[in-house]
Amino acid sequence: MNLKKHWYKWVAAIFLTYVVLGGLFLPLKPGITAVTPVKLESGNNISIKLNVYNAPWLRENASAVESMPKEGEFLIPAKVILVSKGIEGRWESQKIEFSANHGQVIGLFDLKMGQSKIPNDYYSVFIELSNGKYLGLPDAIFLGRSAGDTVGLSTMTSSSNANIAVEQEKFEMKFPNRVVLNESVRNLFYHVPMWFAMLALLGIAAWYALKYLRYSNLEDDIMADALIRVGILAGILGCITGATWARVTWQSWWPAADPKLNGVAIGMTMYMAYLLLRSTMNDPYQRARITSVYSVFIFPIFIALIVIMPKLSPNSLHPGSGGTVGFNKYDLDSTMRLFFYPAVIGWIALFYWIANLRLRIAQLNEKQLNK
C-alpha cells in the first residue's frame, strides 16, 4: 500500500486498536461507590458501611491470605472520616473493619454533638489509607442531632480539613473513578468521538460544497454528499450510544430537558432534510447547486445548536455546558487524555475512510450514467 496516499487508513487502524484495547483493559482507580446509611442521627456506636470499588487492599487469591494484610505490605484503610464543607473539624472513626476479599469497609463512630452548636448538615465521606491518601464520596451522608444529644462535650475532632481537599493524586496509568460514571467513563473514547467525527465530516463537506459553488466541479459535489451521508451515520451512532450511556448513568434513554439532545434532534432533522432535498432532483447541476447552498447554510446552524447553545444553557447534563464543568478542567485527567485524543483522531480517520469508499462508489455510478 502506498503510505503517502493511504496514511489516514493506517492512522485509523493503529489508533483505534490502541484505543479499544487500552480503553477496555486499563483498570479504574479505587473509589467509594455507596454509603449506608445515607441519613444518620447523632449518638454513639454508629456504624457506617462503605462499598469500595477496586479497593487497593483486595487480594487476587483471598483464601491464600491467612491473616489481614499488614500495614506497609499493601495499602489498607486506616480511618473513615466525615467532613462537611461549612463546618470546621471532622468526625473520625474509632474503629474500622474490612476484609481482604471484598471492598466493604465498616467504620464505627462515636458521633456526639453535645453542647456544641453543630448544625445538621451533609457530610462527605473519606477513607484515609495507610499511605496518607484518601478515597472520597462527596456529600454522601446527612447527619442530624438526635433529640437526647444535648449534654456533654462533642466528640468532633478539631483538626483542619484543608489537607483532604487539596490532596494531589500521583500520576497512575489508571482511569479515574467518578461518582455515577464508574466503569462507563470509558465511553468517553467511543461515544464522544462519534460527534467529533460527525462535526469533522460535515465541516469538510461544507468546505467542498463551497468549493463546488466557486468552481462548479461536480466532483466536489459528490465528495460533499459522501461526507454528509457518512457524517449522518456517525451522528446516528452517537445518538444510540449516547442513549445507552444515559440509560445507566442519567436513568433515562433520552433526558428531554437536555439542550444538547434537543439541539442534536433538530440538527439531525436538518441533515435528513438534506437527503430528502437531494433525492427530489435529477439534473446533476441543479441538484449540486441547491444542495451545496443548503449544506453550507445548515453547517453553522448545526454548530450553534449542538456546541454553542448547550454551553449557554444553565441546565445541560453534558460536561462543558452551563453548570457542569468541561472535560478539560477536572474530568479529563492525564490518563484519559492519553486515550481520548488518539480516539478522536482515530474515529475521524475511520469515518473519513468510509466516506472515501462511498465517494468512489458514487464516482463509478456517475461514470456509468454518463456512458
Asked if 161 interacts with another protein (CB under 8 A), we say no
The Cα 95–Cα 71 span in angstroms is: 15
Query: Contacts with another protein: how many residues (CB under 8 A)?
Result: 40
Angle, to 10 degrees, between the axis of helix 284-303 and the axis of helix 192-215? 140
Please identify, among the stretches 57-65, 68-76, 113-121, 236-244, the one whose residues bind another protein according to the rule CB under 8 A. Answer: 236-244
Query: What residues between 331 and 350 interact with another protein by CB under 8 A?
Result: 350
Q: Is 62 in the site for another protein (CB under 8 A)?
A: no
Q: Which of residues 246-305 bind another protein (CB under 8 A)?
A: 247-249
**Contact region with another protein (CB under 8 A), list: 88-96, 178-186, 261-269, 303-311:** 178-186
- Does the protein bind another protein through residue 36 (CB under 8 A)? yes
Taking CB under 8 A as the binding criterion, the range among 34-42, 86-94, 266-274, 308-316 that sits at the site for another protein is 34-42
Could you say whether residue 120 binds another protein (CB under 8 A)? no
Closest to another protein by CB, 117 vs 371, is 371
Q: Are 58 and 101 in contact (CB under 8 A)?
A: yes
Q: Which residue, among 198, 205, 226, has the nearest Cα to 359 in the 3D structure? A: 226
C-alpha cell of 206? 461544507
Task: Check residue 230 for interaction with another protein (CB under 8 A).
Answer: yes
For residue 49, state whether it binds another protein (rule: CB under 8 A). yes
Least CB distance to another protein at residue 327 (A): 17
Q: Which is nearer to another protein, 54 or 161 (CB)?
A: 54
Angle between helices 218-249 and 284-303 (to 10 degrees): 40
Q: How far is the CB of 198 from another protein (least distance, A)?
A: 13
Of these, 46, 82, 181, 288, which contacts another protein (CB under 8 A)?
181
The single residue listed with the C-alpha cell 465521606 is 125
- 80 is a site residue for another protein (CB under 8 A): no
Q: How far is the CB of 212 from another protein (least distance, A)?
A: 22
Of the pair 205, 296, the CB lying nearest another protein is at: 205
d(CA 34, CA 177): 13
Among 47, 99, 155, 187, binds another protein (CB under 8 A): 187
Instruction: Determine if 85 is a binding residue for another protein (CB under 8 A).
Output: no
Candidate residues 186, 260, 287, 318; the one interacting with another protein per rule CB under 8 A: 186
Stretch of 66-74, 179-187, 211-219, 273-281 contacting another protein, by CB under 8 A: 179-187
Lay out the sheet containing 77-83: strands in order across: 39-41, 134-144, 121-129, 77-83, 90-92
Single residue of 14, 153, 236, 312 touching another protein by CB under 8 A: 236
**Closest to 331 (Cα-Cα) out of 172, 185, 136, 194:** 185
Q: Are strands 77-83 and 90-92 parallel, antiparallel or unpaired?
A: antiparallel
> Smallest gap, in angstroms, from Cβ of residue 204 to another protein?
18
Question: Of 55-63, 105-113, 317-325, 351-359, which segment contacts another protein by CB under 8 A?
Answer: 351-359
Are the C-beta atoms of residues 82 and 154 closer than 8 Å to each other? no
> What CA–CA distance (Å, rounded) separates 165 from 191?
31
For another protein, the closer CB: 100 or 237 = 237
Which residues are at the interface with another protein (CB under 8 A)? 20, 23-24, 33-39, 49, 51, 181-184, 186-187, 190-191, 194, 230, 233, 236-237, 240-241, 244-245, 247-249, 350, 354, 357-358, 361, 364-365, 368
